[in-house]
Amino acid sequence: MHDQNHKTTSLQRHLSFSLSGILIGMLCSFLIMSIGRLCFIHSFTYEAVAKTLHTEVFLNFVEKCVLFDVKYAAQAFLPALVGAFFLSFRPYLRRLYAKIFWLLNLTGFLYVLLFTVINYYYYLTYSRIIDVFFFSFLKEDPIATLKTLYQDYPLLQGSIALVLATIAYMWIFPRLQTKLADRLYIPKSGFKKICFVFCLTALYVLAIRGSLGTFPLRQNSSQVSSDPLVNLSVPNGPAAFHWARGWAKQQAIIPEISLAKLQDDYAFLNVKIDENSLYDPLLFTTAKNEFLESNPPDIVISVQESMSTHMSLYDDEQKRDLLGRLRPHIKEDIFFNNFLSEGNGTMDSLIRMLLSTPDLNLSTSTQGGRDYVTNALRPFKEKGYKIVFVTGCQGSWRDMSNYFLRIGVDEIYEENTLKRLYPDATSFAWGVDDEYMWRGVLKVLREKHQSPLLILTLSISNHPPFRVAANVEPKTIALTEEELKRFPYPNTATLFATFRYANDQLGAFISEIKKDETLSKRTFLAVTGDHNMRGIGYDAHPDEMALGHAVPFYMYIPNAYRDHDSINYDPKHWGSQKDIFATVAAHTLSEGRMYTFGCDLLGNDKDCKFPYAYNNNAAVPWDGNYVCNIAEGFDFKALKLTGKNDLRAYTDPKLDAAQAPLCQKAEALSVLQRDLYFYQAKKGPMLKK
């Protein structure tokens, strides 16, 4: 009995010691992060945050700040919690825990304190919270990075202050711990004790998750306002470091690329270059057009989430309408069904379209600080265009808003902006529904503006989890059993209904443009999908190599501009996203200059340097005779295309390299594009802050 009582007393002391220590550590960490944020706001974002007072934005701001601080306070002391659990089963283990707790406590405290301070001075130096550049000394010039730290951070004074703060914390902590441990109630009975520990563990897990919703508290959760300064004030230092570390892990290794290697890449494409003409083969110059000079149009280039050509093949105007109000515009205007996405994911395609760089993590990597020659926004900026980005999703996704502002975008409308403009906006886990995104675009177009507009959009509604907006009556989409087998989703009918909703809202927007007497005369529209629908199982269907990467491309050109232009439109012509900005520039800019791998799809094919539709896994020559296997895991070089609208191919006979000569060129383009990116990522100029 004495031994049992001793064990119980020992366990009671262990629970009291552990719980009191972790609670005090978390409380101190919470206070450090909160005080750090107040200092951050006072120094950098006070005016922006002050504007939100007495609004719902401010309440949301405070809520998210508290949740972030609780989450990372809990994370800081997670090792202490794990140690308390696993070292609780034997008296000697409990004694060991009591001896090493000071180290776990100190580690958690320093983690919070250091990154709170670092985040403050990092922003002071670079005008942004901790990001992947924090890790640049591991991959780039460490001496230069350390010099920057020494020049911009008060290392000596800061180190002294941190040492003093740590001494004070370690002196006062055990005294507070003892007082709290004496006052804590710990159940004595075994069952109650188990329930007590279980409940505390559940609360701790909830604190680390930070949310009871679909997603845990994460980087997207920091978007509470349309003002980026308010959003920058939400995360604490440990949160910013955690995100930066995650993005850093995703970065590809950037090798050194020599001029000789680039010369070899070009030589394979029958192009000679030297050090002074490195990018000359990519130069694309548009024709002089006096009408364009006097009447620069507004332009909308839209990227639609999962606007899949394959999905559209299931459309039947009478029995299964998947296009809605988009249908008449496809029939009336320029529409390429034989078209490939350049990337195979949203950011993959966006970055390739905007910068011709094959790095889907560019917006969150140290390489994102470079100014790439192939920036497709540059020729429009040079012609005086104001560039606006409108999206229904959160601007913090992959740091999209901040990065786009750095590469030339002037203004951002994202989820929070649209919710402020349209309080009735319906939304879901990934953002605001497309209807309200298009309302935002119309608002920008209709507002009086001195400079011509280039509006980039990214829709979000047609993204899993699929559902139709609450204020929309979903259309019944009838599917056969065979069709249902192709889609690995629990509610395929809803998937198709969401696809129809996105197409219908796009069609409604185009109709509004055409009905508006002013907009219809001055607005160019260009629309494509970011990538094909996910998970349809192309690995088992080699004949669908082209179809598996196919997205449509739609264009509307006002009549007045067509009358003053030369347009050669063939709906059977193949193209890809590398050609979008070249095509748009060719018919909107007079004597515009850009560096691109793309071609004018409405121009003369003889002027095209890379005459094939290109995806990083597949390519198709302009005439569509065959599809090339560039990176897929299939045992053939090319397949003969049927020439039908479904884009499928003959699997037998397979074509060899001699029968499909452009396949090697497409592979060479992939290598050239990659190496030019690596070269610029190492040696290109830095973007201006």
Task: Tell me the average pLDDT of the chain.
Answer: 89
**What average pLDDT score do residues 318-322 get?**
90
Neighbours of 124 (CB within 10 A): 13
| pLDDT at 205 exceeding the cut of 60 | yes
Tokens describing residue 339:
């078209």
Helix (H, G, I), strand (E, B) or coil at 454: strand
- Look at residue 4 and tell me whether its pLDDT is greater than 50: no
Q: 185-216: buried (b, 16+ CB within 10 Å) or exposed (e) per residue? A: ebeeeeeebeebbeebeeebeebbbbeeeeee
CA distance 314 to 210: 42
Q: What is the pLDDT of residue 283?
A: 96
Residue 580 has pLDDT above 50, yes or no: yes
Q: Where are the alpha helices (DSSP H) in 210-236?
A: 228-232
CA angle (191, 193, 195) in 5-degree steps: 70
Is the predicted pLDDT of residue 141 greater than 50, yes or no? no
Question: String of b and e for 324-351 (b: at least 16 CB within 10 Å)?
Answer: bebbebbeebbbbbbbbbbbbebbbbbb
- Judged against a pLDDT cut of 50, whether residue 202 lies above it is answered with yes
- pLDDT over 50 (residue 40): yes
Rounded CA gap, 667 and 80, in Å? 53
Q: Per residue in 478-521, pLDDT tens? A: 778 877 778 767 778 888 999 999 999 999 999 999 999 999 99
Residue 168 reports pLDDT greater than 80 = yes
* Higher-confidence position of 31 and 633: 31
Band (294; pLDDT cuts 50, 70, 90): very high
The angle formed by the CA atoms of residues 538, 429 and 219, to the nearest 5 degrees, is: 100
Q: Is the per-residue pLDDT at 148 higher than 70?
A: no
Name the helix (H) or strand (E) containing 158.
helix 155-183
Task: Calculate the CA 335 to chain-centre distance.
Answer: 27
Of all helices (H) and strands (E), which one includes residue 479?
Answer: none
Using the predicted structure, report yes or no on whether residue 150 has a pLDDT greater than 60.
no
Secondary structure, 3-state, 532-598: CCCCCCHHHCHHHCCHHHECCEEEECCHHHHHCCCCCCCCCCCEEHHHHHHHHHHCCCCCCEEECCC
The pair of three-digit structure tokens given for residue 402, joined into one six-digit string = 């901040």
* Residues paired with 386 in a beta bridge: 453
**What is the pLDDT confidence band of residue 140, given thresholds at 50, 70 and 90?**
very low
What is the mean predicted confidence (pLDDT) over 315-324?
91
What span, in angstroms and rounded, lies between the C-alpha atoms of 110 and 162? 9
- What local confidence, expressed as pLDDT, does residue 1 receive? 42
Q: Cα 2 to chain center, whole Å?
A: 63
Which three-class secondary structure state does DSSP give residue 499?
helix
**Candidate from 10-24, 72-86, 167-181 with smallest mean pLDDT:** 10-24
Q: Using the predicted structure, report yes or no on whether residue 144 has a pLDDT greater than 50.
A: no
Name the token pair of 142. Answer: 């460490």
Q: Give mean pLDDT, residues 550-574.
A: 96
Give the count of beta carbons closer than 10 Å to the beta carbon of residue 484: 11
Looking at residue 2, its pLDDT comes to 45
Contact 531, 341 (CB under 8 A): yes
User: Average pLDDT for residues 210-233, to the nearest whole number?
Assistant: 86
CA 25 to chain centroid: 35
Q: Residues 356, 456, 521, 339: what is their CA dihedral angle, to the nearest 10 degrees?
A: 50
| CA count, 13 A, side-chain hemisphere, 430 | 16
Show Cβ contacts of residue 540 under 8 Å, excluding neighbours closer than 6 positions.
none
Segment 391-415, tens digit of pLDDT:
999 888 888 999 999 999 999 999 9
Structure confidence at residue 321 (pLDDT):
93
Secondary structure of 593-623 in the HEC alphabet?
A: EEECCCCCCCCCHHHCCCCEEECCCEEEECC
Whole-number Å distance between alpha carbons of 615 and 596: 15
Q: What is the largest CA-CA distance in the chain?
A: 101
CA proximity to 313, closest of 469, 496, 159: 496
pLDDT in tens, 42-60: 998 899 899 999 899 999 9
- pLDDT band at 476; cut points 50, 70, 90: confident
The pLDDT score that the predictor gives to residue 653 is: 85
Query: What span, in angstroms and rounded, lies between the C-alpha atoms of 356 and 668?
Result: 15
Element (DSSP H or E) covering residue 656: none
Structure tokens at 530: 């970011």
Confidence of residue 193 (pLDDT cuts 50, 70, 90): confident
The DSSP-derived string for 50-93 is HTTTTSHHHHHHHHHHHHHHHHHHHHHTHHHHHHHHHT-SSHHH
Residue 235 has what pLDDT?
Answer: 95
Taking the alpha carbons at both ends of the chain, their separation in whole angstroms is 72
Asked if the model's pLDDT at residue 5 lies above 70, the reply is no
**Contact between residue 601 and residue 528 where contact means Cβ atoms under 8 Å apart:** no
- Mean pLDDT is lowest, of 209-223, 245-259, 476-490, for 476-490
420-458: b or e for each residue (b if 16 or more CB lie within 10 Å)?
Answer: eebeebbbbebbbbbbbbbbbbbebbeeeeeebbbbbbb
- The whole-number pLDDT of residue 254 equals 85
Say if residue 8's pLDDT is above 60: no
pLDDT at 114 over 90: yes
Stretch 669-684: mean pLDDT: 94
Q: What is the DSSP string of 349-391?
A: HHHHHHH----TTGGGSGGGGB--TT-TTHHHHHTT-EEEEEE
Tokens of residue 559, six digits: 């009549």
* Reported confidence tier of residue 436, pLDDT bands at 50, 70, 90: very high
Distances (CA, A) of 106 to 79, 111, 241: 11, 8, 19
Q: Tokens 């009671």 map to which residue?
A: 12
Six token digits for residue 621: 């020559």
Determine the 3-state secondary structure of 132 from DSSP: helix
What pLDDT sits at residue 561?
Answer: 97
Three-state secondary structure call for residue 437: helix
The size of the chain, in residues, is 689
Give the pLDDT confidence of 594-631 residue by residue, as tens digits.
999 999 999 988 888 899 999 999 999 999 999 999 98
Weakest-pLDDT range from 56-60, 199-203, 529-533: 199-203
